[in-house]
Amino acid sequence: MPVLPERYFDPRMLSRLEGLDFRPRRPVDGWWAGDQPSRGVGAAIEFLEHRAYAPGDDLRRVDWKVFGRTDKLYVRQHESQRDVRATFLIDASGSMAFRGSGTGDSKYDYAARLGLALAWLVRHRGGSVALGLLGRAETWLPWAASSQQLVMMSQMLADHAPPVQPGGDNGTTIGDSLAALAPRLTSPALVVIASDLFDEPSHLNQSLARLAAQRQELVLLHVCDRQEIEFPFQNVVHLESLERAMPSRTVDAARIANAYRTQVRQFLAARRAWCERQSIDYVPIMTDEPVGDVLAGYLIARNHLIRSPV
């Protein structure tokens, strides 16, 4: 395993995650497994679970033994380590450059840590990972299972960190970036999106829905800064927008604080509700929480759901 940059990789945190799995809930119908018989003798295929037969499923996957016992058609799900493909989409828009007082990481750095930690897990199990940057539509690192992939991912993340300057992005929204990346995600895969989701909701929802329709398993890591959530100001403040699309504004913080927090609560609640309806994993995260704690908690809960017996 090559040396991973410490900017994004904490060895202690990784060692803590090592025993956890990060894999799709649904078996991955990759073109490695199932479509072609394995030529390798002794290739490891791990049984995952049964699921109900759906019209169109390959009849060769029907577990006839279960049918004989139950008179119900069930399809065997297998996990092939080689078939785990994960795509990590990290939001690199201007708003992700925000770093609240009292926190060490910007939202971008924190999102990068999250994504790379999960990517490391996938790679640790032999899967392939890809990286795309939202807000920078042409930035894409295709799937690879090479030993250098994580290094290349971290390098790409470091090179495209959004600047901390007003209007420091190029104006591309998250939704636009997702729409632009969607054609690349033809095969069902695990798609992890780490973003503050500061986009027009309907436009973002549309892009996410399209990905979901492409049978991508979406995991939405909603990265938030506590200062942005709580708006702890009292006096007149001049807020310089980090996104080019948004204007800067001087406000009397005491006057708008209540309305601001109401808007944020409504935003978070709407996002959660929509993700639940779409069966999308929605994980709200504060940047002042340790990355390891967050991922451990999430993965444990996720794996528990995955291993629930039918």
Question: Which positions touch other proteins (CB under 8 A)?
Answer: 94-98, 107, 164-166, 196, 198, 225, 228, 231, 233, 235-243, 246-252, 255-257, 259-260, 262-264, 267
The amino acid that residue 156 corresponds to is M
From the list 281, 305, 306, 273, the residue with the least C-alpha distance to 114 is 281
Q: Determine the Cα–Cα distance for residues 25 and 243; give it in Å rounded to an integer.
A: 35
Nearer to other proteins, 53 or 233 (CB): 233
Task: Kindly state the smallest distance separating residue 88's Cβ from other proteins, in Å.
Answer: 21
From the list 130, 155, 195, 136, the residue with the least C-alpha distance to 7 is 155
Read off the DSSP letter of residue 190.
Answer: E
**Cβ-contact 166, 248 below 8 angstroms:** yes
Task: Kindly state the smallest distance separating residue 263's Cβ from other proteins, in Å.
Answer: 4
Task: Kindly state the smallest distance separating residue 139's Cβ from other proteins, in Å.
Answer: 20
Nearer to other proteins, 118 or 134 (CB): 134
In whole angstroms, how far apart are CA 169 and each of 155, 223, 246? 19, 18, 11
Nearer to other proteins, 10 or 240 (CB): 240
Nearer to other proteins, 95 or 216 (CB): 95
CB atoms within 10 A of CB 136: 20
Task: Kindly state the smallest distance separating residue 61's Cβ from other proteins, in Å.
Answer: 47
Q: Write the CB contacts of 175 (distance below 8 Å, at least 6 apart in sequence).
A: 199, 200, 203, 204, 206, 207
Q: Write the CB contacts of 104 (distance below 8 Å, at least 6 apart in sequence).
A: none
Nearer to other proteins, 117 or 223 (CB): 223
In whole angstroms, how far apart are CA 63 and each of 129, 249, 298, 310? 31, 63, 32, 14
Tokens of residue 213, six digits: 């329709």
Task: Kindly state the smallest distance separating residue 106's Cβ from other proteins, in Å.
Answer: 9
Nearer to other proteins, 198 or 282 (CB): 198
Task: Kindly state the smallest distance separating residue 277's Cβ from other proteins, in Å.
Answer: 22
Q: Determine the Cα–Cα distance for residues 291 and 39; give it in Å rounded to an integer.
A: 40
Nearer to other proteins, 57 or 240 (CB): 240
Task: Kindly state the smallest distance separating residue 205's Cβ from other proteins, in Å.
Answer: 15
